[in-house]
Chain A
Amino acid sequence: MRKFADIKYLPLRPKGSTFDKRITTMDWVIFAFLFIYGIIIIYPFYNALLISISPNEVYMKTPFLLFPKQFDWSNYKQVFDPESTLWGGLKVTLVLLFVGTAYQLFFTVITGYALSRNKWVGKSFVMNMILVTMFFGGGLIPYMNLISKLGLYDNFLVMIIPGAIDTYNMLLMRNYFASLPHELEESAKIDGANDIQIFVKIYLPMSLPMLATIGLFFAVGNWNSWYNAMLFIKNPDYLPLQYVLRELIVSGSSNMERVTEAATITEGFKMASVFFTIVPMMCFYPFLQKFFVKGLVVGAIKG
């Protein structure tokens, strides 16, 4: 075994080279490419931020800004006005975020657990039936029919119930549970634990990182959801934040043949609204990002 003292003699870099020489032309090309790529991703956010804090005439003259020329907080005042429709949307989205995420997590996890266990009749049939939904959908019209027949039309629950099980996430969960040693289950049974106790007291605590990952997927999905509301919700009190935002963003291009205030919304207000909706997620994302990575890796290597 090599001693610690020998390590200093290890060739950390080729003899005679300097740090600068190690950076090749290709490195510079890659660096430049990534830098430009990063700018392409970040700049729209940055520009949107500048537009939201600039007077409308500044935006009109220079739609692409590098630095703020003047500050104008009126857009944010408008956004945070207690009468703003965004607050109503935020309330709905928060309910979706907490209730919807818990509901989806519950069903996805118990289904994943059940499908990870051996020896039950019809397991592969159920598995295949669920898998089919990943590749084939009934289409929009049958979906509308189904929602209607389930009595979910114009019902707040339409934004929660249909998303009970996400097949992809359920497979991640199933694979994760399957990767845990079966001896745990056997020894718990010997100790007198029943199936529910084994699930709750043994497997769930061991799956917390995975639960966090999947929970985050669901949370982001619920935060961004608007499509079901657009199709099925008539009651304006049930419209989620992203739908309200969408209406604000596209309202400027409407041609209603009638006088509406919505048609005179400025770009600054739109961009301030965009920030109102993305900042909460942006704040949490860096702390939870590691779970996303973990989720992808776990799903990729276990089978």
Chain B
Amino acid sequence: MKRVIVIIVVISLLCGCIAGFAGCKNKQKEGVISIRNLYFENWSADQGDSVTKFIEDKFGVTFETSSYSFNNWTTQVTGDVNGNQVPDVFQADVKPENLNNTYIYWAEGGVVKALPDELLADETSSRWPYLQSMIKSTKDVSSMLYKGKLYGIPVSRNINRAEEAEFAPFTYIYRRDIARDRNLAGFQENDVYTWEQFETLLRSFKAINMSLGDAEWPGAFPSVANYYKTATHCFTFDANGAVVNNYFTEDYMAGLNKAKSYVDGKLYYQGQQQSAGKSDAEPVEKKYYDGTLGVFYDNFSLANYLKIRKQMLKTNGITEENIDDATALMKVMGPTGSNSEGKYALEEQEDWFSMTFLNADISTSKMEKILDIMNWLISPEGTEMALYGIEGVDYEKNGDEVTLIESNLWAKNNKGEYIDSPNGAKYLRYMVTLGHDIMGKDPVLNASKTQKKAYTILKNWDSFMKEANAAGKLTILKEDPRIKWMTTSKKLEYQGKILDDANTKTVKYAFGSISYSAYQSSMTDSRWREVLAEINANLN
């Protein structure tokens, strides 16, 4: 009897294993579109909001949605790919330094589907005109072609290209309230600073035990080098037109030595070294909240700027009345004799962030359906739905004037502000764009005083810099796109490592942890030499 039981158990286990292996493939159902996106967060299609239902009915599909966690994004994407659990549509962060093990690896390995050529064709497609226009207007999209095919949709920051700034909002904020109230030398009421005034203000802050700090993300430190260097990231050109290490040019070294002198003179926050580039370190921004920093450099996207403002409001007696002064954006012109030569200096901003990929296993008809949906989402009709919901139910339109109707979508809280209710069109749109085109019109943002104020401040700064650019007073630091997306073997192999290494070594050099000769040998090691030789050979 015992033997019989044992045999039955063993056979059951084997059957279970075989069945499991046989059913390992991620099953494809035509009418169901599974999507995993970074920005879905707590939204899910099965919450059944009316807009999602409207889109599902319109296209005859059902959405199965899930979200990546920002903190585990890469790990989770890698898990999906290696576990053969890639949803029909998924979002991944594609950068030059991970191009090889994401985009190229997936395209070669048959993980992601090539998009139809008509999305890149010169003549306007009759099927997906909005999507085609968005992709074609993406800067340097041709660099992303692999064997002549595009494998992912670059997620546009702003599908309205005319509104988009060429530069990133990587800049300084400062404690204008303290600078003005204490009558600090160098302080400028209009926030516009020459380099000399900026330095004077830093010294004044130092006198009251406040310093300059750069955010902890790799490459933020040393922000002052932005005024000296000639390009972003790893590579730039020398006077002879050869590609050289951007972290070891005369210009860059002048900027790095300037930063070093600020470190030595205690103008820089001395805890910067521990934080720079370390994701688990205490964020430098906290030092801005607690009053250690007088000036702080970071990426002031609306999300980050709002975060700083909200944290400041919880700190040190900062109120809605003085929050603008406590988080004022600076406009700093570079030193004479530097690359920026008395101009403002900002880094170029890609007009896209991350890519949306389609699973290689989906049928052509399903791919076309997904592209139909994406195209519609960024059409005027889809855009309006992402903003206001369903016409006649959630809003009424009279000419250009939109009146919201109190509905499930536009319920209000007890302060009279709109609650951010789930709107499927708004979230599904993140497959294609970050939605900067509709941000300023968003009724939820406009109903919130805090958000609207922050948005307006950033917009004003943006306009100021656009005008400066038009007047030739802004240097935009770029990386040559031919080099940036070059897919040569050594570059693909080493670029991530040499970039990480360079970011670490700049901090160490500035803080005196390594000598100039150690820095020099690191910036001229065999990896750099091989990569540079390969790039130069390819460009010639």
Residues of A within 8 A of B36 (CB): 234
With both beta carbons as reference points, the residue of chain B lying nearest to A233 in the complex is identified as B66
Q: Contact check: which of A150, A246, A254, A257 meets B434 at CB < 8 Å?
A: A257
Q: Which of B187-195, B306-314, B478-486, B517-525 contacts the other chain?
A: B306-314
The answer to the question of A207 belonging to the interface, with a C-beta cut-off of 8 Å to chain B, is no
The answer to the question of B289 belonging to the interface, with a C-beta cut-off of 8 Å to chain A, is yes
Residues of B within 8 A of A231 (CB): 75-76, 79
With both beta carbons as reference points, the residue of chain B lying nearest to A152 in the complex is identified as B20
In residues 25-64 of chain A, which contact B (Cβ within 8 Å)? 56-57, 60-61, 63
Residue of B66, B157, B303 contacting most chain A CB atoms (<10 Å): B303
Q: Contact check: which of A149, A256, A264 meets B70 at CB < 8 Å?
A: A256
Known: A61-B316, A144-B79, A230-B76. A149 touches B67 (CB 8 A): no
The answer to the question of A118 belonging to the interface, with a C-beta cut-off of 8 Å to chain B, is no
Residues of A within 8 A of B306 (CB): 259, 263-264
A-B contact pairs, 19 of them (CB 8 A): A56-B314, A56-B315, A57-B316, A57-B317, A60-B316, A63-B290, A144-B82, A145-B83, A145-B84, A153-B83, A194-B2, A230-B72, A235-B66, A250-B71, A252-B307, A255-B304, A256-B70, A259-B302, A263-B307
Q: Which 4 A-B pairs have the closest CB atoms?
A: A234-B66, A148-B83, A149-B24, A144-B83
The answer to the question of A166 belonging to the interface, with a C-beta cut-off of 8 Å to chain B, is no
Asked whether, in the complex, the Cβ of B71 is within 8 Å of the Cβ of A251, the reply is yes
Proximity string of chain A (124-161) to chain B, C-beta cutoff 8 Å, 1 when within and 0 when not: 00000000000000000100110111110110000000
Asked whether, in the complex, the Cβ of B24 is within 8 Å of the Cβ of A60, the reply is no
The answer to the question of B353 belonging to the interface, with a C-beta cut-off of 8 Å to chain A, is yes
The answer to the question of B467 belonging to the interface, with a C-beta cut-off of 8 Å to chain A, is no
Q: How far is the CA of A192 from the CA of B421 in the complex (A)?
A: 69
Asked whether, in the complex, the Cβ of A151 is within 8 Å of the Cβ of B76, the reply is no
Asked whether, in the complex, the Cβ of A141 is within 8 Å of the Cβ of B82, the reply is yes
The answer to the question of A260 belonging to the interface, with a C-beta cut-off of 8 Å to chain B, is yes
Q: How far is the CA of A252 from the CA of B279 in the complex (A)?
A: 11
Asked whether, in the complex, the Cβ of A60 is within 8 Å of the Cβ of B303, the reply is no
Q: How far is the CA of A250 from the CA of B70 in the complex (A)?
A: 10
With both beta carbons as reference points, the residue of chain A lying nearest to B22 in the complex is identified as A149
With both beta carbons as reference points, the residue of chain B lying nearest to A254 in the complex is identified as B70
Q: How far is the CA of A290 from the CA of B306 in the complex (A)?
A: 50
Proximity string of chain A (233-269) to chain B, C-beta cutoff 8 Å, 1 when within and 0 when not: 0111000000000110011111111111001101000
Q: Contact check: which of A148, A153, A251, A266 meets B314 at CB < 8 Å?
A: A266
Residues of B within 8 A of A259 (CB): 302-303, 306, 445, 451
The answer to the question of B217 belonging to the interface, with a C-beta cut-off of 8 Å to chain A, is yes
The answer to the question of B44 belonging to the interface, with a C-beta cut-off of 8 Å to chain A, is yes
Closest CB of chain B to A55's CB: distance in Å?
8
Q: What total of chain A residues lie within 8 Å of the partner, measured CB to CB? A: 39
Known: A231-B76, A258-B434. A145 touches B82 (CB 8 A): yes
Known: A57-B316, A61-B316, A236-B44. A256 touches B303 (CB 8 A): yes
The answer to the question of A80 belonging to the interface, with a C-beta cut-off of 8 Å to chain B, is no
With both beta carbons as reference points, the residue of chain B lying nearest to A57 in the complex is identified as B315
Q: How far is the CA of A266 from the CA of B307 in the complex (A)?
A: 11
Asked whether, in the complex, the Cβ of B303 is within 8 Å of the Cβ of A258, the reply is yes
Q: Contact check: which of B24, B217, B279 meets A148 at CB < 8 Å?
A: B24
User: Knowing that A147-B83, A255-B303, A263-B310 are A-B contacts, what are 11 other residue pairs whose CB atoms are under 8 Å apart, sorted by A's residue number?
Assistant: A57-B314, A145-B84, A148-B84, A231-B76, A232-B83, A246-B71, A251-B70, A257-B303, A260-B303, A263-B307, A264-B307
Asked whether, in the complex, the Cβ of A230 is within 8 Å of the Cβ of B20, the reply is no
In residues 232-251 of chain B, which contact A (Cβ within 8 Å)? none
Residues of B within 8 A of A148 (CB): 24, 83-85
Q: How far is the CA of A235 from the CA of B311 in the complex (A)?
A: 30
Residues of A within 8 A of B75 (CB): 230-231
Q: How far is the CA of A256 from the CA of B301 in the complex (A)?
A: 9
Proximity string of chain B (7-51) to chain A, C-beta cutoff 8 Å, 1 when within and 0 when not: 000000000010011011000000000001011011010000000
Residues of B within 8 A of A252 (CB): 283, 307
Q: Contact check: which of B20, B79, B314, B451 meets A150 at CB < 8 Å?
A: B20
Q: How far is the CA of A235 from the CA of B65 in the complex (A)?
A: 9
The answer to the question of A186 belonging to the interface, with a C-beta cut-off of 8 Å to chain B, is no
